[in-house]
Amino acid sequence: MFYSNAEPYPLFANPFQFYFIMSVQKEVKKITTHTLQVMKDSGEKISMITAYDFSFAKLFDEAAIDIILVGDSASNVMAGHETTLPITLDQMIYHAQSVVRGIKRCLVVVDMPFGSYQGNSKEALNSAIRIMKETGGHSVKLEGGEEVVESVKRIVSTGIPVMGHLGLTPQSIYKFGTYTVRAKEEAEAMKLRKDALLLQEAGCFAIVLEKIPAALAKEVSESIHIPTIGIGAGGACDGQVLVMHDMLGINTEFKPRFLRKYLNLHEQINTAVKQYITDVKSGDFPNEKEQY
């Protein structure tokens, strides 16, 4: 039976086969923002990973990841920029469209890129609407606290779920000047606690806490009722997120303390491609069985 993206339901000679397939498909229980809230309330941790294309999104969804973040880290890991600032709304939309075509079950969160929401709440709403209409993603994420609360309220009021992002917010790297741990000092920690509450009140369904002390992340996670998703923020967050290139070991240079590498793809790919080159040069590939 041939399935294609354009033709999800082929014609069946036997109607029972059709009903069987439909009922199996119905069993795919999609993750929603409500599911995430239930997970926090019941103490089940939330898993989130970044993806930027169809093939990896499909792999991660099949592995039963809860959330795929189409992160603006695409600017770094896909486009090779030093920061997340250069990536455009059109480019984020392209990545998100590819991811959405690969998934069946997980929730897709799409980062709002730098410059697409900071101007005012109308600009923020227009950008969020473009993301939702053009990608089929399920929600958006933006960085900041008090400064973006009005925009969050306006986006949420139209029915678009919003994820917040506090702590080390990479779009502000030129303000911070460094990628080190944020909110170690009490004044910044106090602002972060207040921002988390404001984002919750504004209607965010979850908040990413990036690179802050574990004790502060624990305190914030316990003080708000919506889920927190940590990256370098300790084990008390309600979920964890990692950039796929980091956790799969595609990057070799990026080695922060919080990162756990689950594969060493850099080495494995390098070995595989070297072998391919050797086989091509020696005439070993293709052999007789590998041709028509």
How far apart are the C-alpha atoms of 27 and 41, rounded to whole Å? 23
How far apart are the C-alpha atoms of 40 and 210, rounded to whole Å? 18
Asked if 195 touches ligand KIV (CB under 6 A), the answer is no
DSSP code of residue 44: P
Q: Specify the stretch interacting with ligand KIV by CB under 6 A; choose among 29-37, 64-72, 98-106, 279-287.
A: 64-72
Q: Rule CB under 6 A: which of 76-115 touch ligand KIV?
A: 111
Q: Rule CB under 6 A: which of 200-229 touch ligand KIV?
A: 208, 210
Residue 147 makes CB contacts below 8 A (sequence gap 6+) with 118
How far apart are the C-alpha atoms of 144 and 160, rounded to whole Å? 18
Residue 132 or 166 having the CB closest to ligand KIV: 166
At residue 225, what are phi and psi to the nearest 5 degrees?
-95, -15
Residue 23 or 214 having the CB closest to ligand KIV: 214
- Can 267 be counted among the known catalytic residues? no
Asked if 139 touches ligand KIV (CB under 6 A), the answer is no
At residue 165, what are phi and psi to the nearest 5 degrees?
-155, 115
How far apart are the C-alpha atoms of 49 and 186, rounded to whole Å? 30
Angle formed at CA 108 by CA 103 and CA 112, multiple of 5 degrees: 140
Question: Which tokens hold the place of 30?
Answer: 């999609």
Read off the amino acid at residue 80. G
Residue 66 or 111 having the CB closest to ligand KIV: 111
Instruction: Give the nearest distance from C-beta 243 to ligand KIV in angstroms.
Output: 5
Binding string, 236-265, against ligand KIV, x = CB under 6 A?
-----x-x----------------------
Which of 61, 72, 238, 246 binds ligand KIV (CB under 6 A)? It is 72
Decide if 192 contacts 220 (C-beta within 8 A).
yes
Decide if 158 contacts 125 (C-beta within 8 A).
yes
Asked if 46 touches ligand KIV (CB under 6 A), the answer is no
- Taking the alpha carbons at both ends of the chain, their separation in whole angstroms is 24
How far apart are the C-alpha atoms of 79 and 68, rounded to whole Å? 19
**How many CB atoms sit inside 10 A of residue 268's CB?**
13
- Of 62, 143, 201, 210, the catalytic one is 210
Asked if 50 touches ligand KIV (CB under 6 A), the answer is yes
Instruction: Give the nearest distance from C-beta 208 to ligand KIV in angstroms.
Output: 5
Residue 160 or 209 having the CB closest to ligand KIV: 209
Binding residues for ligand KIV, how many (CB under 6 A)? 11
Minimal CB distance to ligand KIV: which residue? Answer: 71
Q: Specify the stretch interacting with ligand KIV by CB under 6 A; choose among 69-77, 196-204, 271-279, 281-289.
A: 69-77
Asked if 71 touches ligand KIV (CB under 6 A), the answer is yes
Instruction: Give the nearest distance from C-beta 241 to ligand KIV in angstroms.
Output: 5
Question: Which tokens hold the place of 182?
Answer: 């944020």
- Catalog residues that contact ligand KIV under the rule CB under 6 A: 50, 69, 71-73, 111, 208, 210, 231, 241, 243
The set of catalytic residues is: 210
